[in-house]
Structure 1
Amino acid sequence: MRIACVQYAPELGRVTQNTERVRELTTSLKPGQVDLLVLPEMALTGYMFDSLEEIASLLEDPYAGEGATLALASELARHAQCHVVAGFPERASPRALEELGSQGQHDARIAREEVTGLAHLPRVERKAFNAAMLVSPDGSLVKIFRKHFLYEADTTWADEGGGFEYLDVPGLGRICVAICMDLNPYTLESEFSRYELASFCEQHRVDCLVVPMNWLLPEDEIGAQTGPNEPSFATINYWVARCMPLWMPGLCQPGHEGHTTYVVACNRTGVERV
């Protein structure tokens, strides 16, 4: 499988400008050159919104054919003749609400009474979701995946998705799309060794785990890198640690040795609201 990630610095709220920037970055892609194109979490809107009111005008409903992200993802998919994954803020349409907790979703959250801190719990319920769409090479919407574990910045406007999911996709195999904080322990309070997302992928023999991200640079690395394009090895090592069940076959599901899962992390670059 050939995969390309679009990693750039979206400007908060500037959807038109961000759309043009993604077009510039993908203009050289030729039809059939890649099988999967991945954009970051909240790819066209930026990420740091303080309230539902602030982000309300940018919410999208792909089921109704609405939104800049669906329009761009469909354009890119048709142009490159590939599947596209793109993060976006989703309006809680009736269909989206119907899908919460539907069959096939795995709810990996620990009980609320086990959570002592409230920073990562939603403050606004059933209004919007931090989501990612999968679009087919013909430009049609295949599926919407919703962020299951929220980061503190999400809680000002988004609700929790119903659970982790996978989908069997011709040409891609069994794919799971999760979003950023989904790779962490739930609310950062469940046991590290639960490996919620990776264990789900191992149990269901997922072929490709795709994770659009707005992952923070560790505080001790801010200003310490030699250049803006230098990787954060501490971050990469942490991602690897959170995926331990996938590179230690049989750790959580004995008998699953021999299955390979590819992990695709597409993180944005740049800064917001500093």
Structure 2
Amino acid sequence: MNPSTIPASDIATSADAIPGLRASPVRVAVVQFDPQVGIENLERNAKAVHERLTAAVENKARLIVLPELATTGYCFSGREEAYAHAEPVPTGPTVQGWVAFAAKHDVYIVGCLVEQDGPRLFDTAVLVGPDGYIGRYRKTHLWNNEKLWFTPGDEGYPVFETKIGRIGLLVCWDIWFPEAPRILAQLGADIICTPTNWVWTPPPLYDASGTCMAAYLTMTAAHANNVFITAADRVGQERGSGFMGNSLIAGTNGWPVGRIAGPDEDTILYADVDLTAARSAPIWTPLNDLHRDRRTDLYDPLLGYRGGKALAR
């Protein structure tokens, strides 16, 4: 990857929800690259992350989102190797390194790592900023072999108030579950930052436009909830698993702000957005908006969460 300053024409810009008012203009960056698993690759991965954080800062990004498990790789051979890649949050060296970088450059970073808390391991996204560690989110929906070493998240869906806006966190497969982004939106998130490792699944991997299903689900969640969503994916192959790429920054209307990254690109996408645009009502007609028209009086018993009866499948 060439970390040199990119042309201004390559910075995508979203439309303001309130003409003439930009309450919180922020340049968002999502990083897409190829980390690799293995203790022997930890130093290489950390260097690659630092280079891309530096490139994003040089291009004036204020909020930078890294892929899932960007410093460790993803395809662990078993529990022993997963533990060997783990560290505590927030006191471990990876998070403390991000804290120091964020303070030095006055930026916010969303990263993701293997967190060890006693005997338990979590796939954990963290948010750090100019004033230090802000908070974490432990992935609640675990994919495939993750269930053999990670514990599902147990702390809910937090939204963090920051100087640039309200930031919610998800990780990868979480975006398949519409309840997760909906909860963050209802809790007031302006942007949902999602580190991902979208892995190859049975074909078709992409449609004719080169876009994978996960990218469409990200756009759908942004549209349905009137919220910005970033998806920072990885690329490459690792121990027989391939990864999708297609990182993107979805606007509050669901459409990508700028382009969707290709399936093999080592790149950083940028978008200039007003984070607080997510707070304006998404009025689709004079009589409709998505949040106001929800029938919350009916949903709970039909879904079977409490007191209702879900249909067997």
Q: Normalised by the size of structure 2, how large is the TM-score?
A: 0.62
- Is contact 2:114–2:123 with CA below 8 Å preserved after alignment? yes
Gaps of 5+ in 1: 94-125, 186-194, 250-259
Q: Give the corresponding residue for 2:229.
A: 263
Amino acid across the alignment from 1:264:
T
Q: Give the corresponding residue for 1:247.
A: 223
Q: Give the corresponding residue for 1:169.
A: 162
Give RMSD over aligned pairs.
Answer: 2.4
State the Cα distance separating 1:143 from its structure 2 match: 0.7
Task: Tell me, in whole angstroms, the C-alpha distance in 2 between the residues paired with 1:11 and 1:225.
Answer: 27
Amino acid across the alignment from 1:217:
W
Residue 200 of structure 2: SS of its match in structure 1?
A: coil
Task: Tell me, in whole angstroms, the C-alpha distance in 2 between the residues paired with 1:165 and 1:33.
Answer: 27
Cα pair distance change 1:174/1:269, threshold 3 Å: same
1:192-238 CA deviation, whole Å, 9 max, x = no partner?
A: xxx2112212322311111100012343256x899xxx953433123
Task: Tell me, in whole angstroms, the C-alpha distance in 2 between the residues paired with 1:238 and 1:216.
Answer: 15
1:169-193 CA deviation, whole Å, 9 max, x = no partner?
A: 121x1111011111123xxxxxxxx
Written as runs of structure 1 = structure 2, the 5 A alignment for 1:70-219 is: 70-93=95-118, 127-138=120-131, 140-162=132-154, 163-171=156-164, 173-185=165-177, 195-219=178-202
Cα pair distance change 1:206/1:28, threshold 3 Å: closer
- Is contact 2:172–2:198 with CA below 8 Å preserved after alignment? yes
Q: Give the corresponding residue for 1:54.
A: 81
1:120-162 CA deviation, whole Å, 9 max, x = no partner?
A: xxxxxx6111101111124x21111100111112112110112
Cα pair distance change 1:181/1:248, threshold 3 Å: closer
Q: Normalised by the size of structure 1, how large is the TM-score?
A: 0.70
Task: Tell me, in whole angstroms, the C-alpha distance in 2 between the residues paired with 1:9 and 1:35.
Answer: 23
Which structure would you say has the larger Rg?
2
Residues paired across the two proteins, number: 212
Cα pair distance change 1:152/1:30, threshold 3 Å: closer
